[in-house]
């Protein structure tokens, strides 16, 4: 046991390599947080586009675009999307930070899944709620904003929370664009110490701990939402 602790000290503390993990964790959290925020915003827009009128002239184009976009994003690996955005879309843009490119890539990827989550949440709202809003003199936009979407958010929250957790784990591929996140930091330590066990187990423990904490927080918030519905 003492030898194992000494080995941990040599690999992680020696040379201040633990700072690489902390720095990588910061990148992982940054990419996940901003990608989730932007993904939710884009996902809501895509969901509304897909729920729009798909049978009348020009109004059909938003539905076609949203449907095609969601199909393409959900039908291709996230790592391929990341590489396309990095090597093709931003190839000629010099000085573009890799973290910014990663946020764009994961925002786009997440938005497709969030769109379907929102669409399901909106469809789960009883149509009588829409009729009630109309009877009160609200416009379609006001009914959607003040009545339907708030209820849809409650319906979709468990799936949105799960998408956030999945998104955090998916960001482990940003090393493909030379961005040093938590996983890449662990890989860097392996290349310097020639020891894979301790760095990889440490990275796994960090991911597990963060996701466990997030899960507890999301469950607590979901519980409060359910209590508010029962009042």
For residue range 138-170, what is the model confidence (pLDDT) as tens digits? 777 788 777 888 888 888 899 999 999 999 999
Secondary structure letter of residue 58 according to DSSP: G
C-alpha–C-alpha distance, residues 107 and 149, integer Å = 21
C-alpha–C-alpha distance, residues 67 and 47, integer Å = 9
CATH top-level class for 20-171? mainly alpha
- Cβ(209)–Cβ(69) below 8 Å: no
pLDDT of residue 228: 65
Residues 6+ apart with CB under 8 A from 179: 27, 31, 98, 99, 102
pLDDT of residue 223: 84
From 99, 101, 108, 119, select the one nearest 30 (Cα to Cα): 99
pLDDT of residue 140: 75
pLDDT of residue 54: 67
C-alpha–C-alpha distance, residues 41 and 115, integer Å = 9
Residue in the structure block whose two tokens are 């509304």: 48
pLDDT of residue 31: 97
Residue in the structure block whose two tokens are 């996902």: 43
Please tell me the total number of residues recorded for the chain in this structure.
231
Q: Which regions in the chain score pLDDT beneath 50?
A: none
pLDDT of residue 17: 85
C-alpha–C-alpha distance, residues 200 and 182, integer Å = 10
pLDDT of residue 175: 93
Name the residue ranges covered by the structural domains of the chain: 20-171
pLDDT of residue 56: 66
The whole-model pTM stands at 0.89
């Amino acid at each position: 046991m003492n030898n194992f602790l000494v080995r941990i000290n040599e690999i992680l503390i020696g040379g201040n390599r633990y700072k690489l993990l902390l720095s990588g964790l910061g990148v992982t959290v940054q990419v996940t947080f901003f990608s989730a925020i932007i993904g939710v915003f884009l996902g809501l827009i895509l969901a509304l586009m897909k729920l729009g009128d798909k049978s009348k002239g020009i109004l059909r184009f938003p539905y076609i675009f949203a449907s095609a976009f969601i199909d393409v994003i959900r039908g291709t690996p996230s790592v391929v999307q990341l590489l396309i955005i990095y090597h093709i879309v931003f190839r000629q843009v010099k000085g573009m930070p890799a973290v910014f490119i990663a946020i764009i890539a994961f925002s786009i990827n997440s938005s497709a899944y969030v769109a379907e989550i929102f669409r399901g949440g909106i469809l789960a709202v009883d149509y009588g709620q829409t009729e009630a809003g109309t009877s009160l003199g609200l416009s379609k936009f006001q009914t959607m904003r003040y009545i339907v979407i708030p209820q849809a958010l409650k319906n979709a929250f468990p799936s949105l929370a799960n998408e956030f957790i999945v998104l955090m784990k998916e960001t482990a591929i940003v090393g493909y664009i030379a961005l040093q996140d938590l996983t890449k930091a662990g890989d860097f330590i392996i290349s310097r110490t020639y020891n894979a066990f301790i760095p990889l187990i440490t990275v796994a423990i960090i991911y597990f701990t963060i996701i466990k904490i997030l899960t507890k927080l999301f469950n607590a918030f979901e519980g409060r939402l359910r209590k508010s519905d029962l009042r």
